[in-house]
Chain A
Amino acid sequence: MPLDFFVIQLLNGLSYGLLLFMLAAGLTLIFSMMGVLNFAHTSFYMLGAYAAYQISEWFGFWPALLLAPVAVGLAGAAVERYGLRRVHKWGHVPELLFTFGLSYIIVELVQVVWGRAPVPYQVPVQLEGPVGWLQQHFGLTFPAYRAFAMAVAIFMLAAIWWLLARTRTGLVIQAALDHPQQVEALGHNVPRVFMLVFGGGCALAGLAGVIGGNLFVTEPGMAAAVGAIVFVIIVIGGMGSLAGAFVASLLLGLVDAFGKTSNWSIADGLDAVGLAVGPEIFGYPVWKLTLAQVTPVLPYLLLVLVLIFRPRGLLGTRAD
């Protein structure tokens, strides 16, 4: 594999992985803080993309980058305040089902408002084309927008870490996770903390949508396309572990980037060691599958492996 091809795929994989992590991080935070697995998380991602499209149609991309996540965050907070909070008293399964139904509804509402076809949410003019200095100095053609997406993701990561570890708000949030009653007794408004956390997590998903919407395609199916992968990530990484989600996201991003470009198949491998594999061999349909064809399934195969050998997840600490 030529070096520049390798580096490009590496960067592709990392950028996709970081985007996945933006989603997985918000999901993990909400789950850790509130015990609620937000099934509608990727729907808020989709809302972020559509909101960014709409706002950029009116005002341009850069206002959208700022306003869309805020809008989605507010929507999330409203959902928590008027919907989720009501269901909280019924337990975890109804909470999960509420977010499941919500994801259904958001997808349908998006179609009612914007239609079934993809919307033309574009990369801003300033970020079109390849990254200048990479091309000049290394001869690498890497899209500038992908680099921008990576930068946003890293900045977001750093901001979360700073918020949780260094500010008072963050400490209160961490405390409310473990001991909500004590924190409430100390005068903190725990329901409001929950609303903030949920809204914040949704805002993160919305930000990912702003970036992902024009990096990929903005269409009603985009939530489902990335939905299962994100949940697989948090199981592989270990439920409730941000570090685990980070590792798993990057891993899956790289697997996706490198897998998609490879036409290698098991039959090729057997061929290389002298074992000819033809259509009459049992299981030929499996052996002749190329890695590129199998890539959509690789995250789930990884899930299966993790479940067999390390059920708690890569960096998981809690048994449920």
Chain B
Amino acid sequence: MRTEPAAPAAAILRFRPLNFGRWAVWGLTAALFVAAPFAFDSKFSLALMSQAGIMIIFALSYNMLLGHSGMLSFGHAVYSGLGAYFAIHAMNMIGRGELFFPVSLLPLVGGAAGLLFGFVFGWLTTRRAGTTFAMITLGIGEMVFAASLMFPGFFGGEAGISGNRTVGAPFLGIDGLDFSRDIQVYYLIAAWCLASMVAMFALTATPLGRIANAVRDNPERAEFIGYNTQRVRWLMLMLSAFFAGIAGGLMAINLESVGSEALSAIRSGGVLLAAFIGGVAFFFGPIIGAIVFVFFAVALSEYTKAWQLYLGLFFVILVMFAPGGLASLILMNLRVIKFGKFRRLLDPYVGVILSGLALTVGIVLLIEFTWHRTLDIALGATVTVAGFAFDTSQPQPWVLAVVIVLAAGAAFEFMRRRFKAEWDAIQIEIETWLRDNPQDKP
């Protein structure tokens, strides 16, 4: 028979001071969004940031499936793509005066489309789980893509549908705020991005969000605590598709054109890469991943045609050595700093980073040389890499590249082992300390 009163028990866990930290983080993020265009004001930077903002929403929506609910999808572009198409058709209807709706709220049209198709396709795809679910999403994605080419009336064939975002009434009736200038589009995207981030974050702290975590960890047990796991996954997919549709709507506004590649397997693969590179186990992981991905796709692609190869290599290396993504790397290092042991890693880090950079340079040279010889040979034998010109018809550049790869490779391997030894030792020390000093203080 229990005799202790309930009050002390409740007090153990319920004492939670107002979480200033959380408000500070959101406030800082908002401030960053507002201030960014003043720091980076070139047209190119603005385009980069706008695309990153959209990608952040897209990647976070994807992680609602992968990271939060354990659902690996290869067809997420279906929802963002269909959202984009519906949004651009609505945009054109506004332009023709058939629809009175603010352009700034068009992402909601995209979201609604995403939600609708999430409902329909979600029911189909969530009938199975795990690897089978992944394959089914691949099939549905290809189906929608193939179907889009069969209905040129709605999808506009290969060329797609174009629109004009300056139509309709200006924002809040203020003359001049008609999204004719890129900076206005940027702030629209930033606002939606912030709102979506807050919404998706809030969702993680709801009953559905937590049960989705449970279904991820142990679908069988989730059934035995009263939950229909298929229903849970279906609902999460619908909500995820809603936010993907918002991203699609913003894409339509940003580019004023939607083509078949918005529904493509490449777009689906891209958001998967972005989420995973950032780290799926943490809420903010896909935010990092989205920014990195846009960097590869938009910035790096200006400098080299082989950017997809580099992206693929980067992704595979992460899968093999850091499957928790960049977020996990950051957090693990923060933990080492918190325990005051980071000093011991400085030297090994320098060694790994320098030799790794050298190795990367060598590999990049080889790739760029081969690429040039295969694909751009018509432009002559000389290729420029980072400002240096190399004549690929001569053996010297090749020899140089190979020597760099071999030498840096050996050095890197040596440095990597040295780093790993020190890192593992530190981790053991930390884990041991944690085991002996349980951190569950009430």
Contact = CB atoms under 8 A, between A and B. Distances in A.
Interface stretch (A54-62, A163-171, A295-303): A295-303
A108 B151 CA distance: 31
Contact of A101 (B127, B131, B312, B375): B312
B128 A307 contact: yes
Interface in B308-342: 308-309, 311-313, 315-316, 319-320, 323
A235 B124 contact: no
B26 to A, nearest CB: 30
B129 to A, nearest CB: 6
Nearest to A115: B374
Given A97-B319, A116-B375, A307-B124, A105 B313 contact: yes
B213 to A, nearest CB: 15
Contacts of B320: 83, 86-87, 98
B134 interface: yes
B153 A96 contact: no
Contacts of B125: 307
B146 interface: yes
B156 interface: no
Nearest to B142: A228
A307 B127 contact: yes
Contacts of A243: none
B132 interface: yes
Nearest to B307: A108
B316 A112 contact: no
B139 A228 contact: yes
Interface in B348-389: 367, 370-371, 374-375
Interface string B264-289: 01000100110010000000000000
A100 B147 CA distance: 24
A297 B150 contact: yes
Main DSSP-derived SS at the B contact region:
helix
A226 to B, nearest CB: 11
Instruction: With a 10 A CB-CB cut-off, give which of A96, A104, A114, A294 has the most chain B CB atoms.
Output: A104
B72 A96 contact: yes
B130 A320 contact: yes
B143 interface: yes
Given A37-B131, A101-B319, A105-B309, A231 B150 contact: no
Interface string A287-320: 0010001101101110110011001000000001
A262 interface: no
B375 A111 contact: yes
Contacts of A320: 128-132
A311 B142 CA distance: 19
Contact of A307 (B136, B138, B308, B319): B136
A130 B124 CA distance: 44
Given A94-B323, A224-B265, A231-B139, A115 B375 contact: yes
Nearest to A312: B128
A228 B265 contact: yes
A92 interface: yes
Q: Is the interface of A mostly helix, strand, loop or mixed?
A: helix
A112 B309 contact: yes
A83 B312 CA distance: 14
Interface residues of B, number: 46
Interface in B138-168: 138-143, 146-147, 149-151, 153
A101 B314 CA distance: 9
Given A90-B323, A235-B139, A320-B131, A98 B306 contact: no
B183 interface: no
B135 interface: yes
A87 B153 CA distance: 46
A228 B138 contact: yes
A234 B375 CA distance: 36
A93 B133 CA distance: 12
A97 B276 contact: yes
B309 A304 contact: no
Interface string B160-202: 0000000000000000000000000000000000000000000
Contacts of B128: 307, 311, 320
Interface in B248-300: 265, 269, 272-273, 276
A105 B150 CA distance: 31
Interface string A113-134: 1111000000000000000000
A274 interface: no
A231 B138 contact: yes
A101 B144 CA distance: 23
A61 B130 CA distance: 42
Contacts of B72: 93, 96-97
A105 B129 CA distance: 27
A242 interface: no
Nearest to B121: A304
Contacts of B276: 97
Interface of A: 37, 83, 86-87, 90, 92-94, 96-98, 100-102, 104-105, 108-109, 111-116, 224, 228, 231-232, 234-235, 239, 285-286, 289, 293-294, 296-297, 299-301, 303-304, 307-308, 311, 320
Interface of B: 72, 74, 124-125, 127-132, 134-136, 138-143, 146-147, 149-151, 153, 265, 269, 272-273, 276, 306, 308-309, 311-313, 315-316, 319-320, 323, 367, 370-371, 374-375
Given A100-B74, A111-B374, 12 more contacts: A94-B319, A96-B131, A98-B316, A104-B269, A104-B316, A113-B374, A116-B375, A232-B135, A232-B138, A239-B131, A297-B150, A311-B127
